[in-house]
Amino acid sequence: MNKPKAILCSCFAISTLAFAQHDHGHGAPSADMRVAVEYPPAMKEHTLTSMRDHLLAINQIQEAMGNGQYDKAAQIAETRLGQTALKTHNAYENSKFMPKGMQDIGNQMHRSASKFAIEVQNSGATGDTKQALLALSKKTQACVACHSGYRLK
């Protein structure tokens, strides 16, 4: 795998995206530059199921924040996307099949979800959602970065 290794800097999503868009503009429009990763079939199915739940969780977080339910937003983030979710998703088992760069983005996502959970709890105390929204966008950057770099076979 010759994917960039230094993806832990906060700009990793941007650079991956810029790369994808550059290619889109100048190469064959339909060229898929993503690294294809092979998972055992059951694990692929389980992964895609949990991906759909990730999207649902983001949606429910936004709804909870809109309703001022900050503790609820924190709980969804921690249990469905954060470090707690990491354990229930068999992430350690699964990570054996991931290239290093993909593992790093996955870890980044779980870490930033836990960070968001803390920020949105602060929102409950201060009424200010700015830092929580920034933390949420850091988290979704990890979704974007992994999707633009990798696909499943």
The binding site for ligand HEC (CB under 6 A) comprises 48, 51-52, 54-55, 58, 81, 102, 105-106, 109, 142-143, 146-147, 150-152
Distance CA 123, CA 132 (A): 7
Cβ of residue 126: shortest distance to ligand HEC, in angstroms?
25
Q: Identify which of residues 64 and 102 has a Cβ nearer to ligand HEC in the complex.
A: 102
Place of tokens 């290619």: 23
Q: How far is the CB of 106 from ligand HEC (least distance, A)?
A: 4
* Tokens 């092979």 found at: 38
Q: Which is nearer to ligand HEC, 18 or 55 (CB)?
A: 55
Q: Which is nearer to ligand HEC, 105 or 135 (CB)?
A: 105
d(CA 83, CA 77): 9
Residue 150 near residue 35 (C-beta atoms within 8 A): yes
When the beta carbons of 88 and 126 are compared against ligand HEC, the nearer one is 88
Cα–Cα distance between 23 and 12 in angstroms, integer? 17
CB of 93 to ligand HEC, least distance (A): 14
What's the CA gap between 49 and 34, in Å, rounded?
Answer: 21
Compute CA distances 141 → 17, 38, 56, 87, 107, whole Å: 10, 23, 16, 22, 13
**Smallest gap from residue 55 Cβ to ligand HEC (A):** 4
CB 139 to ligand HEC: min, Å: 6
Q: Pick between residue 55 and residue 126 the one whose CB is nearest to ligand HEC.
A: 55
